[in-house]
Structure 1
């Protein structure tokens, strides 16, 4: 369809909720045809081993897979609803890999990945969230849970049981990634945030009970109750951007490789240089997911996505020591240079970002407001060339050898190791 998953059935007038196609002029007709996609969904090229191999080669360490988005369609074999990929209504249900979430989790786990389950707290297919007695008005529950406590309790039980299924039947889990931050206690709503002003009802699903259950089944589990500050938001999740200023708490950038969160024909993909430089610009490298990869309707990534992964992997093999396990160091950045520090603080890495794909070195590279430890050696990762440095007031100046000045020395970004 080429529309953002779930949001086109949400009756809000936002850019990402626009309906497209032959049924767009009638909301009810459109929703019916959207729901009926289950009857034609058949990702016959789905091969999680191919995904895992490409991700591993790219240097990735963990995967977060969408088990259910806001539209309520389940990519796992839940016992709570038939609106799932393993239902007989779905052509793919006869495929031995039909329990897609389990296939993904098992395959990536075998390759040494940490495993995360994305799960949407709201469920627009559930009659206990969007009750058919009332028309949905926006993304929120369409009735007052305080007036209909039994119906809301049924939804809470449904949510709890589905998460319990994921925490008990899908192997070792490291992250429970909960989306749909409008499903929250009314007392946590921040009216200064635009999208939260539309939350009229208390939509408390009892996170203490859910988290306690999940952690009893999965000791050490990280819980991400997205956008709901407190005990159950173990790290924050800025969307489609790297924070401009240092953050004190762990975080993860949620960013797509293309322009859309879901499959769009002929989508525009970020260049490898853009994706690599997102890593180099990582000012507080506590957690980072540089790009989200989404499958084509047949169940595989596009050739462009695989190419990006391959090129990222080639770069990370040379420069990864300045990314993995690194932590903040002031001044964080200086013009085209971004700084990280090794886990044991024995080395600082200065990433010099190019303006294009090729990295061409000037005669000098200046890092303002940074003074290395006395006697620090300077090398460029992936090179045997010796570099010298000097101080100019409060500036560190990297002196590029004449043999390298104006020459291409790498692609996307290069890293200088100081220590």
Structure 2
């Protein structure tokens, strides 16, 4: 093992900017679900607006980009002086030292609740194949290492239980590719890219075993971990051949000629029998199993009428990386306001440390976001997008009774004396309320713009954004 210690230091210093080259694009085709139970749950999910995506696995031990340095593609870098095969041995051996003795799922759930989040998506398995639940399909799992005797060793169960106690919707992230499986990456051949490294057409029995393996793991999650509201399937290159369009080819990811069908109809039938109404997010694979779209690290240019969710990191990385720089509360609130005004949800990525603690700087940011949402959440939760959703730096949302105007402020910006917008003019005599204090404000109309005078009670406050309510 000694020869594998040196690269750990080097790997910690590698930035995660390479992740920008692997962004999952949003599919442009959308097929709405027809199951009434799915429609109902999808509407409920759309009202939540703000969720937490938790990436946690063996990659937290050295604090590196999750899974991807196992993949031998040109956009990835690994340390000099170490063979690719030795690197894979080193990476997969991290499971022997992954021992999160400070794992506190109730603390995680409290941090998310304090942030104003309403649903969670937890990584049960990333592409590296390491399972954060007690699967019976492989020994490569959290319950087969130094953490196995811990009372909460079956990590996913306790994460889901903790968030469920706080009324969160529960999402299970699951990677369709599994680079640890011999039926996906077969040791007989080299592993040149993210795809299966053998020709599925020549070895159909091997791929059938992988299909069964995938089905069985998802069945375990659907039947042994309580109510699951969302099955969030990552690895969109693992898809039926007929769904590979010119749009998919344009992403730049290697796409083989053979089918990579994991038999989603069979999986879906089983999952919806066990979890009626469950939402599927089969990312980027347009069709009946992509119940909402998932643009990654980006926001659509315009309002979308389809259900969608931007997944964006709180720091620069999805998982834990030492000395990561976290977005300010102002930045996150601005992102959330724009996303919600365009009809979407924000799924914010947070990565716990290898010991099981969410970094304190991240917790602080989450508290700041939640402090704003505690008083201004009416402009976010259970709202819907409207036409003319923005006017410069002002974003508009609505519910059945009111319109809301949200004005994000830059970090450290002094409170303005007045704000103005030129769209969605209140009727004469209407009252405009600032949500932060509940005060009714003086306003007038000049040159086609609403001019709202801010009260003295806000004069010395430092806020991420201002939100106003008025009647339609």
Is contact 2:431–2:440 with CA below 8 Å preserved after alignment?
no
Report how far residue 309 of structure 1 moved.
1.4
Partner of 2:244: 189
Partner of 2:89: 32
Is contact 2:189–2:198 with CA below 8 Å preserved after alignment?
yes
Partner of 1:7: 68
Q: Give the direction of change, closer, same or farther, for the CA distance of 1:24–1:68 in structure 2 (3 Å limit).
A: farther
Report how far residue 373 of structure 1 moved.
4.1
Please give the secondary structure, in 1, of the residue aligned with 2:210. helix
Alpha-carbon distance in structure 1 between the residues aligned to 2:320 and 2:211: 31
Question: After the TM superposition, which residues 235-246 of structure 1 pair with which residues of structure 2 at under 5 Å, given as runs?
Answer: 235-246=292-303
Alpha-carbon distance in structure 2 between the residues aligned to 1:123 and 1:222: 22
TM-score of the aligned structures, taking structure 2 as reference length: 0.83
Alpha-carbon distance in structure 2 between the residues aligned to 1:92 and 1:402: 55
**Deviation string, structure 1 residues 265-311 (Cα, Å, up to 9, x no partner):** 11111111111221222254644235211101111101101101111
**Equivalent residue in structure 2 for 1:296, among 350, 353, 359:** 353
Q: Does residue 1:168 correspond to 2:229, yes or no?
A: no
Question: After the TM superposition, which residues 118-157 of structure 1 pair with which residues of structure 2 at under 5 Å, given as runs?
Answer: 118-157=173-212
Is contact 1:389–1:396 with CA below 8 Å preserved after alignment?
no
Partner of 1:400: 453
Q: Give the direction of change, closer, same or farther, for the CA distance of 1:226–1:359 in structure 2 (3 Å limit).
A: farther
Partner of 1:415: 467
Please give the secondary structure, in 1, of the residue aligned with 2:213. helix
What is the Cα-based RMSD across aligned positions, in Å? Answer: 1.8
Q: Give the direction of change, closer, same or farther, for the CA distance of 1:32–1:336 in structure 2 (3 Å limit).
A: same
Question: After the TM superposition, which residues 357-372 of structure 1 pair with which residues of structure 2 at under 5 Å, given as runs?
Answer: 357-363=412-418, 365-372=419-426
Say which structure, 1 or 2, has more relative contact order (CA 8 Å, 6+ apart). Answer: 2
Is contact 2:304–2:343 with CA below 8 Å preserved after alignment?
no
Please give the secondary structure, in 2, of the residue aligned with 1:253. strand
Partner of 2:371: 314
Is contact 1:237–1:251 with CA below 8 Å preserved after alignment?
yes
Partner of 1:70: 127
Q: Give the direction of change, closer, same or farther, for the CA distance of 1:325–1:24 in structure 2 (3 Å limit).
A: farther
Is contact 2:304–2:342 with CA below 8 Å preserved after alignment?
no
Partner of 1:79: 136
Q: Does residue 1:107 correspond to 2:162, yes or no?
A: yes
Q: Give the direction of change, closer, same or farther, for the CA distance of 1:285–1:52 in structure 2 (3 Å limit).
A: farther
**How many pairs were matched up?**
408
Alpha-carbon distance in structure 2 between the residues aligned to 1:287 and 1:132: 42
**Deviation string, structure 1 residues 61-118 (Cα, Å, up to 9, x no partner):** 111100000000000000000000101xx10111111100001011111121111100
**Deviation string, structure 1 residues 29-63 (Cα, Å, up to 9, x no partner):** 00000010011100111000111111112211111
Q: Give the direction of change, closer, same or farther, for the CA distance of 1:35–1:353 in structure 2 (3 Å limit).
A: same
Please give the secondary structure, in 2, of the residue aligned with 1:282. helix
Partner of 2:409: 354
